[in-house]
């Protein structure tokens, strides 16, 4: 199976909001779409799903057009999409019926995911000691995090081949963040194809093998994340010493990013400059507690590529 996005373009009048986006997934895994506010990331997701028409380009799945007849797709939108006044169970059964899931199968899957995502109490009203049933919960009675769990469940109930997650961890507490992550790992292990967007760069690094960064509708960086990081080299140095090392850092011509009680964040030109600093410290008898030379983080790469004039990433 393969997903190929080719030259995908969207315009509103004279304004281009997505400019010839291309990428492909030739095997299961997680692909990240990242971008600044208004970069075109959410527009791209909606076009891939067929929710928006395109002004150029195409999306294919296994060589044919991607649509509901050729690919079983699950979608978790960033915006809440539940009907506020309808019971959760009715909504889950309704959405599964739209995906062609038989009612008996849907109920079994709902029961499984209710337990897995820890929302059983909201779907199955408990019986009171007097034998009376409590009222079934509606969506507007749930917290934002629990609504997100229900929407995550909806995206998984059809057992999709392709799963698109737009800010899946937004607004979750640490416990539920770990719960969502464990489910995502399970889907990866099952050989699913996932497209993810997230403001949390550490999460992207944890799950995604390949990325595209968009800025003002255009692709500014694309490729395998590990290869991209390797291309920068090991230029970030975290140094901690028992004595003041600032004079040695200055003499070596190294950029000092921060200094908190002899714990230094440094930017070096490469391993040679870093090792020269280490030799200088050792020669002068300054004890080195830690010396960690690493590649730049995705956050640092992102900021470099899109500039510092953007205060936030795209919603």
Q: Left, alpha or beta for 233 (phi > 0: left; psi -120 to 50: alpha)?
A: left
Instruction: Show the DSSP H helices in the chain as ranges.
Output: 41-48, 88-98, 103-116, 120-123, 144-156, 174-189, 201-207, 225-232, 246-251, 271-283, 298-306
Give CA–CA dist 139/150, Å, rounded: 9
How much of the chain, in percent, has pLDDT values that exceed 70?
A: 97
- How crowded is residue 127: how many other Cβ atoms within 10 Å of its Cβ? 10
Nearest residue to 76 (alpha-carbon basis) of 95, 52, 93, 59: 95
- Is 139 within 8 Å of 83 (Cβ atoms)? yes
Confidence band (pLDDT; 50, 70, 90) for 312? very low
Q: Is the CA virtual torsion 267, 271, 272, 277 positive or negative?
A: positive
Q: Under 8 Å CB-to-CB from 168, ≥6 apart: which residues?
A: 76, 148, 152, 180, 184, 196, 198
Q: Which two tokens stand for residue 94?
A: 């309704």
Per-residue pLDDT reduced to its tens digit, 217-270: 999 999 999 999 999 889 999 999 999 999 999 999 999 999 999 999 999 999
Q: Under 8 Å CB-to-CB from 264, ≥6 apart: which residues?
A: 237, 238, 239, 240, 241, 245, 249, 256, 257, 258
What backbone torsions phi and psi does residue 223 show, to the nearest 5 degrees?
145, -170
Q: Which two tokens stand for residue 95?
A: 């959405």
What backbone torsions phi and psi does residue 25 show, to the nearest 5 degrees?
-125, 110
Residues pairing with 16 in the sheet: 11
User: What does the mean pLDDT of the chain come to?
Assistant: 92
What is the predicted pLDDT for the residue at 313?
A: 42
Per-residue pLDDT reduced to its tens digit, 34-66: 988 788 899 999 999 999 999 999 999 999 999
Question: Which whole number is the average pLDDT over 102-113?
Answer: 96
Q: pTM value?
A: 0.85
Nearest residue to 158 (alpha-carbon basis) of 71, 225, 224: 71
Nearest residue to 9 (alpha-carbon basis) of 71, 55, 76: 55
Judged against a pLDDT cut of 80, whether residue 314 lies above it is answered with: no
What is the predicted pLDDT for the residue at 135?
A: 83
Helix axes 88-98, 144-156, angle to 10 degrees: 30
What is the predicted pLDDT for the residue at 55?
A: 93
Give CA–CA dist 59/49, Å, rounded: 9
Nearest residue to 92 (alpha-carbon basis) of 125, 138, 127, 46: 138
């Amino acid at each position: 199976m393969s997903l190929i996005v080719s030259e995908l373009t969207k315009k509103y009048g004279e304004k281009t909001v997505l400019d010839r986006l291309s990428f492909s997934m030739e095997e299961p895994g997680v692909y990240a779409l990242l971008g600044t506010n208004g970069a075109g990331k959410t527009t791209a997701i909606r076009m891939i799903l067929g929710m928006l028409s395109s002004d150029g380009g195409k999306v294919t799945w296994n060589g044919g057009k991607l649509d509901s007849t050729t690919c079983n797709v699950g979608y978790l939108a960033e915006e809440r999409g539940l009907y506020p006044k309808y019971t959760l169970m009715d909504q889950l059964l309704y959405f599964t019926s739209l995906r062609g899931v038989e009612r008996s199968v849907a109920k079994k899957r709902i029961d499984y995911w209710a337990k897995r995502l820890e929302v059983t109490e909201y779907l199955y009203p408990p019986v009171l000691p007097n034998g009376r049933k409590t009222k079934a919960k509606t969506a507007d009675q749930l917290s934002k995090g629990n609504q997100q769990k229900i929407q995550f469940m909806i995206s998984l109930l059809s057992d999709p081949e392709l799963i698109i997650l737009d800010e899946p961890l937004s607004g979750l507490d640490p416990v539920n963040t770990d719960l969502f992550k464990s489910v995502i790992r399970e889907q990866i292990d099952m050989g699913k194809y996932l497209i993810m967007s997230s403001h949390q760069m550490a999460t992207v690094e944890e799950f995604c093998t390949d990325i595209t960064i968009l800025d003002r509708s255009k692709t500014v960086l694309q490729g395998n994340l590990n290869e991209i990081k390797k291309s920068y080299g090991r230029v970030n140095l975290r140094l901690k010493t028992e004595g003041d090392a600032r004079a040695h850092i200055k003499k070596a011509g190294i950029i000092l990013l921060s200094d908190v009680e002899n714990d230094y964040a440094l930017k070096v030109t490469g391993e040679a400059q870093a090792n020269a600093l280490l030799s200088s410290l050792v020669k002068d008898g300054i004890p080195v507690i830690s010396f960690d030379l690493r590649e730049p983080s995705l956050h640092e790469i992102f900021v470099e590529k899109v500039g510092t004039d953007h205060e936030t990433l795209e919603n």
